[in-house]
Structures are given as structure tokens and as C-alpha cells.
């Protein structure tokens, strides 16, 4: 295992120390409770957005804390759900009296712990809490860690679009309804060329042969649909685009696309894949309105990528374009 | 070799196709001459900034084309200098009559080919051209591909700061002088934990043992100062910070810091390193005014990182903060 670390068991805490040193002008980092929140929290009268999950997927989620996106992110151990106390502490820290929306990727532990924290927060502070579960991965129905579909790239879209709506002053039911519309229109599919190594484990999570790739892999290395010989980018693009388009009709609406690197794939290659994806979508009559190409939902140093498409509308595009000021996504500010 | 590619020999062209598909609303891509320029080029009366170099370092340079930064970037083959004809074509495409500044990383081939292109452009169009050579890597004096010091992370600072100055209407001598001030105040040092693989070569560039790291490595895998056993992040930080501080006095001036990932190192780990770097700089009395943490000057999928410090002043900070709208760096727009 070759990593930039001190003690592998301290990696999340050490990384949060660095995050605080780099971005302390805009965020607060609670090193004990392991969450990051906006420096100006709580914002009275604004619905607060809280997300979180296992670490190792950076910039998701802490990198998306800031104006126009998340109010707080809870950072679990690597590939491990945050605990209810963390989520409760983050929720209390950002509660501005207008309610809190929990944005939860669909992993059994995350869902359970966010639910428990919501009950605790409601009991303790009377905070009004709503939750949206992101379950956009079309690869498999049930998986290691997950009942139902896993939550992946659409999470970024929910955080950005609903973050902008909350910034505009929309109330909790409206934020929740919008989040559910984004989730309903979002689909993802990923592929891994190599494994990653969880620091505390010290050995590769997945045993992938020299000429193999895992199609439909999860962001923690969970098994996908099929393991097959490494293929050219145009074939990999087809393996990602076809199941996504088969699952939802993306024609006739503006689409936001994310070609997401899993950590170890160079940007040079992500653009090679984007060219193939864009050609396939064009041939299928899917109009690409916005895009992101880069590392947004990573799996440590895994080589590979995922495709996320969100069926949007004019309102979602306007909220997508609205100012955002976070370490991981920034424009208009 | 596990990569998202079609034919390895077409990787730069295929990647530029993807870049055009993703960012065609803001840039033009010339697939024959292999350069990227702002969609609104040429801008009459504005000094144009042109950079470029071998591909494989993305987002550098094409990712930094846009308002407030570069007017054009020339994309050589992977780790190979762009040829004079490319540079000439890019220079002509963005020449708005106020002269062109070539920003060149100090590699012998790059310097020679930019010089040749400058002569051709002056002869053909009478274009006034100035050049700045970035040579900020303190690791070694001469190296494979390079006479003198190599050019690395300070290039991003030059492109951003001088890009903002050109946007404000500064003339060519002023842009050049500013670029030279940034270079004079910039120092870098890198470390690699793993090699990368050039697609057309198909095998790792550097032969690094399972427990080894290369301190002072170049961005093409050129030898550094020393090869030694893998060390904890706090020790690696010291190995980067000490030679940088030994080379230039960074006390008493605001400093812009870049903790740069080489492509295969997770953001989680880059923040671990940033924490150690920030502590060392604080102890040394170096005031950190701005920072970037992430992949900005990569070496394909190499694991490792580099540290760049630029000794700035209030004017440079103001230009650093000015609006920028590129695929790789974006704020205020």
C-alpha cells in the first residue's frame, strides 16, 4: 500500500485537519464529531442541507459544503457510514429554524443512521427534518451494503440543484419535492479497471485480473453486473450508456451529464470517454445541456469511471447554473 | 496497461474531441493543429496568453483556457513538446493586435519549439511576441529533457495571475514583467510513490519498488534527488517544504500554496499532506494567503504530489482573486 498517510487509522481525522487548514476561511470543521459545516452556520430562516457518508469519495461530501450547496457534511470512516451522533451534531449546528433536509445515498447503514439521527434531532430540538434517498445506480438491484439500488453520482446533482433552491429561500417541503424530482430523473452506471485499497485494510478491496474490468461496480468496490476483458473506450461507453438509457427515457428533455473519475483515471482519459458518451447520446436523441467531467464521487485511487445522467427541466438548469461557492464546485461567486 | 482508451496512439486527438464536446460552448478546438483557444478569440486590443506542452498533465494547459486565464493552449503528444506549427497556428488564432505572451515550462524541446514558432509568427504576421520561461522546480539543476530547472506548478500561478492582468488591459511588456515576478517568487518540489504509463509505450516509465518513493521527481517521471523508503506524510511534507524554503525566503510576504496531486493520489490523502505542510509553514513563519489542493499539474495516473509556493504581494493576490472561467479553474464568473 503506497499512500500519503501518517497512521492509517487516523486518515479521516488527519485529512479533516488539512481541510480545515485549507478552507477555514469558509467552513468550520468539528474534529471531534467529524463534520464540516459552512462558516456562517446556522443561517436563520434557510432550509439547511446535510449530507454525508463514508470517507474516501472526496470531494463528495465535505468538498460540497458552502454557499449554494450543502450546509454540512458528516464524514464517516473510510467506506463506513457516519454514526447517528455525528449526524445529530451536524444537524444541530446548521439548523436555522426552517428545517433540515438530509440527503442520503442508499446504503443500508447510511439510511439507518440518518433516520436515527433525525429522530434524535426531532426529540431534542424539535427540528423539522425531511430526507431524500438517492438510489440512482442501475447496475444491480441489491448489493453488498445495500438493499435496493445504490446511490452515486446523482447525489452531486441533488446537492447542487436543491442547494440553490434552499439558498433562494424555498421551504422544506419544496426542497424535498425538488430533491425527489432530481432523484427520479437520475441514473448512473460505473466501471472499474483497478481496485482501491482502504488504508486500514492495507490490501486491495477487489481482486481484478490484469486484463479484467468490473462493469457496474459500486463505489466501495461492490460487485457489479459482470466481469469481462478490458475493452476500448468506445465499448466501455456503450456498456455505461445503454443500461442508463434502457432504464429511463432521456429524450426530449435537457440532460445534465457527469462523466466521473473514480480517482485513479487521468482527466486525459475521462475526456476520451466523454467523446464516446456524447456521440452515443447524440445518436440516441438525448440533448446534453450541461456537463461535468472530472473526479466528483471517487473511490480512493480506483481507476475507472461512472456516467450519471439527470433528466432536467428549465428550472433545474437555472438552479444548476446558480452561484455556488464550495471547495469542490465553484462558479458565479 | 489498464486505461480508458481506443487506440493508444490516438489518445490526444480522442481526448481533444471529448474536450470539444464538453466545453464547445466556451472554447474552440482545432483537431488538426491540436490546440484549444477561447471561443471569442481573437480579442482585439487584449494581450493574448498562449501556453502548451506535452499532454498527460491535464488540466494543465487546455483546462486553463478561458476568460481571465489562457487564450490558447497547444497540446503535444503525451509528454512530448508541441511542434512549432501548432504553436504558430495557436498564436495566430488568438493574436488580437496587442501582442502575444508565450508561457513556457522549461523543457528543452518546449523552449526551442516556442522560440521557433515566435520567429515564424513575427515573420509571417509581424506579431509582437514575448516569452516567459517557468523554471521553478528546486529538485535538480539539469535533468532528462531539461537544461536548468524544470517548470512545474508555478505555471498555474503565472497563467492565472497574468491572465487576470491581460484581461484588465495591461500591455505586453507589463504582462511579461509580471510573469517574471511570479516566476521569480515561485518554487516547487515533488515526490512520486508510483510510476505512470505513457499509453503509446505501454509500460511504466519509472521502476519504483514496492516500498520506495522518488523525492524530487519530474512530471514526466525524470529522476529526482533521491530514492528512499516510503515515509509517513509528515516526513514527506518535510522533504518537500525544506528544500523550497531553503531556496527562497518566503517569510514576510503573502504566499499562494498549491498542494498538487499527480493524478493517482486521492484528495483524502492530499489534505493529509496539506495539514502537515501548513503546520511546517506556520512554524517557519510563512503566511499562507491562498491555496489550491487538488490535481492541477498531473503526470497521468502517477501517485504522488508536489508542493508549489509563490511569494506574492497585494497586487498578485488581487489578480489571483479576479474572475476566471475555465474548465479547470473557475470563480467569480
Indicate yes or no: CB of A272 within 8 angstroms of CB of B298: no
Give pLDDT tens digits for A137-152. 999 888 877 889 999 9
Q: How many CA atoms lie within 13 A of A10 on its CB side?
A: 14
Residue B69's alpha-carbon distances to B64, B100, B167, in angstroms, are 6, 13, 8
Residue B307 has pLDDT above 80, yes or no: yes
Q: What residues of A are in contact with residue B266 (Cβ under 8 Å)?
A: 56, 58, 263, 298, 300-301
B23: annotated active-site residue = no
CB-based contact (8 Å) between B4 and chain A? yes
Positive or negative, the CA dihedral B46, B47, B50, B51 is negative
Indicate yes or no: CB of A267 within 8 angstroms of CB of B295: yes
Domain ranges in chain A with CATH number 3.40.50.10440: 12-185
CB-based contact (8 Å) between B147 and chain A? no
Q: Domain B12-185: which topology?
A: Rossmann fold (3.40.50)
Q: What residues of B are in contact with residue A16 (Cβ under 8 Å)?
A: 271
CB-closest option in B2, B22, B234 to A230? B2
Window 245-264 of A, Cβ < 8 Å to B: 259, 263-264
Give pLDDT tens digits for B213-270. 999 999 999 999 999 999 999 999 999 999 999 999 999 999 999 999 999 999 999 9
The alpha carbon of residue A305 is apart from the nearest alpha carbon of chain B, in Å, by 9
Residue A185 has pLDDT above 90, yes or no: yes
Q: What residues of B are in contact with residue A233 (Cβ under 8 Å)?
A: 4-6, 14
CB-based contact (8 Å) between A278 and chain B? yes
CB-based contact (8 Å) between B113 and chain A? no
Mean pLDDT of the A82-88 span: 98
Residue B70 has pLDDT above 90, yes or no: yes
Q: Note the pLDDT of residue B144.
A: 76
| Residue found by looking up cell 520567429 in the block | B119
Give pLDDT tens digits for A269-310. 999 999 999 999 999 999 999 999 999 999 999 999 999 999
Indicate yes or no: CB of B4 within 8 angstroms of CB of A233: yes
Positive or negative, the CA dihedral A317, B324, B320, B191 is positive
Domain B186-323, what architecture?
2-Layer Sandwich (3.30)
Q: What's the pTM?
A: 0.98
Long-range contacts (CB closer than 8 Å, 24 or more residues apart) made by B143-146? B143/B218, B143/B222, B143/B223, B144/B218, B144/B220, B144/B222, B144/B223, B145/B107, B145/B108, B145/B109, B145/B218, B145/B220, B145/B222, B146/B106, B146/B107, B146/B108, B146/B218, B146/B222
Phi/psi region, residue B221 (left: phi>0; alpha: psi -120 to 50; beta: rest), is left
Indicate yes or no: CB of B4 within 8 angstroms of CB of A295: no
Shortest CA distance from A236: residue in chain B: B4
Q: What residues of A are in contact with residue B300 (Cβ under 8 Å)?
A: 266, 268
> How far is A45 from A93, CA to CA, in rounded Å?
14
Mean pLDDT of the A172-193 span: 98
Q: What percentage of chain A reaches a pLDDT higher than 90? A: 96
| Residue found by looking up cell 496587442 in the block | B98
What number is the ipTM of this complex?
0.98
> How far is A119 from B9, CA to CA, in rounded Å?
57
A57: annotated active-site residue = yes
Indicate yes or no: CB of B293 within 8 angstroms of CB of A213: no
Q: What percentage of chain A reaches a pLDDT higher than 70? A: 100
Give chain B's mean pLDDT: 97
Mean pLDDT of the B282-294 span: 98
Quickly state the pLDDT bin for B100 (edges 50, 70, 90): very high
> How far is A70 from B79, CA to CA, in rounded Å?
39
Shortest CA distance from B229: residue in chain A: A2
Indicate yes or no: CB of B265 within 8 angstroms of CB of A301: yes
Question: What is the maximum alpha-carbon separation in chain B?
Answer: 55
CB-closest option in A3, A194, A234 to B6? A234
Amino acid at each position: 500500500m503506497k499512500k500519503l498517510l501518517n497512521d492509517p487509522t487516523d486518515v479521516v481525522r488527519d485529512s479533516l485537519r488539512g481541510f480545515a487548514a485549507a478552507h477555514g476561511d469558509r467552513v468550520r470543521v468539528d474534529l471531534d464529531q467529524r463534520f464540516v459545516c459552512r462558516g456562517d452556520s446556522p443561517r436563520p430562516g434557510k432550509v439547511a442541507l446535510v449530507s454525508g457518508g463514508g470517507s474516501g469519495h472526496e470531494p463528495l461530501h465535505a468538498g460540497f459544503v458552502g454557499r449554494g450547496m450543502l450546509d454540512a457534511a458528516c464524514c464517516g470512516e473510510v467506506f463506513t457510514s457516519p454514526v447517528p451522533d455525528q449526524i445529530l451534531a451536524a444537524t444541530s449546528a446548521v439548523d436555522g429554524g426552517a428545517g433540515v433536509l438530509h440527503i442520503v445515498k442508499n446504503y443500508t447503514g447510511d439510511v439507518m443512521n440518518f433516520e436515527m439521527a433525525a429522530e434524535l434531532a426531532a426529540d431534542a430540538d424539535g427540528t423539522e427534518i425531511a430526507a431524500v434517498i438517492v438510489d440512482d445506480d442501475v447496475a444491480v438491484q441489491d448489493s453488498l451494503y445495500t438493499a435496493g439500488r445504490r446511490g452515486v453520482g446523482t447525489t452531486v446533482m441533488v446537492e447542487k440543484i436543491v442547494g440553490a433552491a434552499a439558498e433562494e429561500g424555498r421551504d422544506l417541503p419544496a426542497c424535498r419535492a425538488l430533491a425527489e424530482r432530481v432523484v427520479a430523473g437520475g441514473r448512473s452506471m460505473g466501471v472499474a479497471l483497478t481496485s482501491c485499497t482502504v488504508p486500514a485494510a492495507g490490501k486491495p478491496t477487489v481482486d481484478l485480473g490484469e486484463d479484467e474490468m468490473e462493469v457496474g461496480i459500486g463505489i466501495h468496490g461492490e460487485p457489479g453486473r459482470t466481469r469481462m476483458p478490458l475493452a476500448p473506450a468506445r465499448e466501455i461507453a456503450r456498456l455505461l450508456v445503454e443500461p442508463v438509457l434502457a432504464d429511463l427515457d432521456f429524450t426530449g428533455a435537457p440532460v445534465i451529464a457527469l462523466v466521473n473519475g473514480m480517482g485513479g483515471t487521468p482527466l486525459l482519459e475521462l475526456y476520451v470517454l466523454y467523446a464516446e458518451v456524447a456521440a452515443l447520446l447524440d445518436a440516441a436523441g438525448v440533448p446534453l445541456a450541461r456537463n461535468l467531467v472530472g473526479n466528483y464521487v471517487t473511490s480512493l485511487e480506483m481507476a475507472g469511471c461512472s456516467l450519471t445522467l439527470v433528466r432536467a427541466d428549465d428550472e433545474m438548469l437555472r438552479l444548476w447554473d446558480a452561484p455556488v461557492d464550495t471547495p469542490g464546485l465553484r462558479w458565479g461567486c
